[in-house]
Structure 1
Amino acid sequence: MTARPTAADLPTAVVPVLREEFPDARSARVSNWTASPRGLATETFLFDLERDDAEQVSLVLRRPPEVALFPDYDLLRQVLVMRRLAGTGLPVPAVRWLDRGTEALGSPYFVMDRIEGCAPGDLPSYHSAGLYFDAEPAEREKMWWGCVDTIAEIHQLDWRTLNLDFLAFPQFGTKPLEQIVGYVGAALDWASTTAPPALRRAVDWLRANSYEPDQVTLCWGDARMSNILYDTEFRVVGVLDWEISYIGDHEADLAWMLFLDWACSEFQGTERLPGTPTRQQTIARYEERSGMKVRNLRYNEILAAALLSIPLLRMAHRLQLPPEVDVTAFCVQRIEQLLAED
């Protein structure tokens, strides 16, 4: 097994791999290497491949973090999703290759083409800095609707025809909600023995209030503007980060987007920017574009908060944060608000 290169050593370590994988690349050089802050569950690096007498290629390398943030983390899962979505019209990155071994770079990794575009950030909130903050109200509305329309487009795909059934969790039950709630419960046990009690209450409530979804669809899993690349006209040109995609209730992605917008605004005491559609406008737009009704948003928002807490708990462990620093505070607060509606 090859030792895992540090982030600083990786630009040098990857050159022999590139020379092997690309034709006529004996002169391959790496330039413009940048670590991306995108995503919690995967380390992401942007770079350009330069060769003599060949056009420059813009690429992305992704590898697992040293401490896994999900119990079933597997690069193959997200690579298969992107490859099977490649012919759908959804703008997902093209994967060049996946190496599941450890001989080349000390850990599994994959390389994909880079899509040129910009994304709003979450830290700091897109309501207080970055692409969304700097945009005009009409441009913000366009970005927001672009995200909603992307969610609707994903949900209209036939996941069975696309052979995405491997995204189910049959070990936790036979029904989609039973499966994802079972996964969240088991993952919380794996992530932390001292998780806030509200997270356990959320799982108990989800189990007690389960229902049959109107539609079972491919769920993006991390549905938010920060996982979308926009061009200079604020059109969607890239849909990223499929690590936690699964088969479930179509409402889950919309709930995830709205929950994170709440976290980026009300939770932080930040005003939502002009041009940002309301919650009700968002629901209406989604129903119009997807042809699917929204009936269980509260349930799915509780599910979103519980699911997101898993990588946050693991991240706190990885960073060895002191007990008084609760990175799941916004998840807990939203769960407590929603459970109080009973």
Structure 2
Amino acid sequence: MSEQTVVGFDVPLVEAWMAEHTRLEPPCQWVRLEGGHSNLTYELTDSAGEHAVIRRPPQGELLPKAHDMWREFRIIDALYPVGVPVPEPIGYCDDRDVCDKHFYVMGKVAGEALYTAELTAPRLDEEARSRVGESFMSVLAHLHSVVPADVGLDDLGRHDGYVARQIKTWYGSWTASAEAAEYDSPRLHALHDHLVANLPEQGPARVVHGDYGVHNVMVDDSGVIAAVLDWEIGTLGDPLADFAYALNAWAESSDGPLAAATAPTTLPGFASRHDLVGYYADRTGADMSNLGYYRAFNSFKTACIIHGVYARYKLGMKSTDGVDMPALFDRIVVSIDRAEAFIAQ
């Protein structure tokens, strides 16, 4: 890729920094990678043939805590030495003489994230698919076993009140979006009141990913998780909330025709959510008696998030071209339905 087509990086300046501060040997070939929550991400191949990935925030004005490259780098730098599968941290730069935004370089990991059934079916046979669930939960259990103070992450976030703060944040989003969305729900308010009144006592804080799903892990051809990516919202919190999020996001064919047609984990061979609960409980010894609460909390949170997105579309803040607004609205209602069902279990 020519220097003129590299967006967001002054290639000579960045490669000079790499030569001084990393083991990479410029000049490099730069190939843009899609995805990554709009962060500008490139695969690098240096003159010795080593592959790496460089990542920076998007261009333009950003919200204060959005696209936090230092948080991402700091977390993988702490977790890599203790065997949690993350890309190798190679270097971090916050020098504005090199780049207008901070960036980091990490090792390239083999494998691919799982996005759709159509893409996953030809890549993973049933035997490989059968390994994904157990590996997926083994990695999460390993992450949740790490004591933050032991890896220098004791100040990554507050240790207490993780779920309570999340409930407050997302309920605030719901109430602030109700007028623009032209939709409010007494059921959502009742869910909020129930979740607040029945808040479980949180155990020791652990590093939580916040968006742990098969779309954010690299899966090798044998079905083993090679690395966990996208740590931007990683913090300290309640590991059971993190686990329940991953459980909710793991689709099964019984979830409906849309999930069955699109979600990779609905293909034959993938573990069931029941299997995932067993894998995680076996490895952590976690008390699952409040699992229904944590799943309800995550469905409540999902309803609030989608409601906010729906409101922004209604306000014209985002283009609705190609967006199925009725389907988006239905996802709000379905998330409320599921939260109520988890509470009733």
Tell me the equivalent position of 2:18: 21
Equivalent residues of 2:8, 2:58 under 8 A apart? no
Tell me the equivalent position of 1:136: 125
- The superposition leaves residues 205-257 of structure 1 with CA deviations (integer Å, 9 ceiling, x where unpaired) of 43233120355422121211222222332222212121122222222222122
| Aligned partner of 1:242 among 231, 248, 257 | 231
- 1:181 equivalent to 2:167? Answer yes
Q: What do you get for the CA RMSD once the two structures are aligned?
A: 3.8
Specify whether residues 209 and 321 from structure 1 end up closer, same or farther in structure 2 by C-alpha distance, changes over 3 A only.
farther
- Cα displacement (A) at 1:20: 2.6
What letter corresponds to residue 13 of structure 1 in structure 2? D
Structure 1 Cα separation of the partners of residues 24 and 144 of structure 2 = 44
- Cα displacement (A) at 1:290: 1.5
- 1:87 equivalent to 2:86? Answer no
Structure 2 residues not aligned, in runs of 5+: none
Structure 2 Cα separation of the partners of residues 120 and 17 of structure 1 = 31
Structure 2 Cα separation of the partners of residues 298 and 69 of structure 1 = 36
Tell me the equivalent position of 1:58: 51
Superposition pairs for residues 1-342 of structure 1, below 5 Å?
Answer: 8-10=5-7, 13-23=10-20, 28-31=26-29, 33-37=31-35, 39-40=36-37, 42-51=38-47, 55-66=48-59, 72-73=65-66, 74-100=68-94, 102-121=96-115, 125=116, 128-131=117-120, 134-169=123-158, 174-185=160-171, 194=180, 197=184, 201=189, 203-214=192-203, 216-262=205-251, 266-267=255-256, 268-270=258-260, 272-307=266-301, 310=305, 313=308, 319-321=318-320, 325=325, 327=328, 329-330=330-331, 332-340=333-341, 341-342=343-344
- The superposition leaves residues 239-297 of structure 1 with CA deviations (integer Å, 9 ceiling, x where unpaired) of 21211222222222221222222388725241622212222222112101122122222
Specify whether residues 14 and 181 from structure 1 end up closer, same or farther in structure 2 by C-alpha distance, changes over 3 A only.
farther
Specify whether residues 295 and 158 from structure 1 end up closer, same or farther in structure 2 by C-alpha distance, changes over 3 A only.
same
Q: Secondary structure at the match of 1:167?
A: coil
What letter corresponds to residue 61 of structure 1 in structure 2? I
Specify whether residues 328 and 203 from structure 1 end up closer, same or farther in structure 2 by C-alpha distance, changes over 3 A only.
farther
Structure 2 Cα separation of the partners of residues 184 and 68 of structure 1 = 24
Structure 2 Cα separation of the partners of residues 183 and 250 of structure 1 = 19
What letter corresponds to residue 48 of structure 1 in structure 2? L
Equivalent residues of 2:123, 2:221 under 8 A apart? no
Specify whether residues 242 and 305 from structure 1 end up closer, same or farther in structure 2 by C-alpha distance, changes over 3 A only.
farther
Structure 2 Cα separation of the partners of residues 141 and 281 of structure 1 = 11
What letter corresponds to residue 22 of structure 1 in structure 2? A
Q: Secondary structure at the match of 2:10?
A: helix
Structure 1 residues not aligned, in runs of 5+: 1-5
Indicate the structure with greater helix content. 2
Equivalent residues of 1:11, 1:33 under 8 A apart? no
What letter corresponds to residue 331 of structure 2 in structure 1? F
- Cα displacement (A) at 1:34: 2.3
Structure 2 Cα separation of the partners of residues 62 and 252 of structure 1 = 28
Identity between Structure 1 and Structure 2 (%): 20
Structure 2 Cα separation of the partners of residues 11 and 68 of structure 1 = 13
**Could you state the TM-score of these two structures normalised by the residue count of structure 1?**
0.78
- Cα displacement (A) at 1:68: 8.2
- The superposition leaves residues 104-155 of structure 1 with CA deviations (integer Å, 9 ceiling, x where unpaired) of 333232222211222211xxx3xx2223564222211101211111111111
Equivalent residues of 1:219, 1:246 under 8 A apart? yes
Specify whether residues 304 and 298 from structure 1 end up closer, same or farther in structure 2 by C-alpha distance, changes over 3 A only.
same
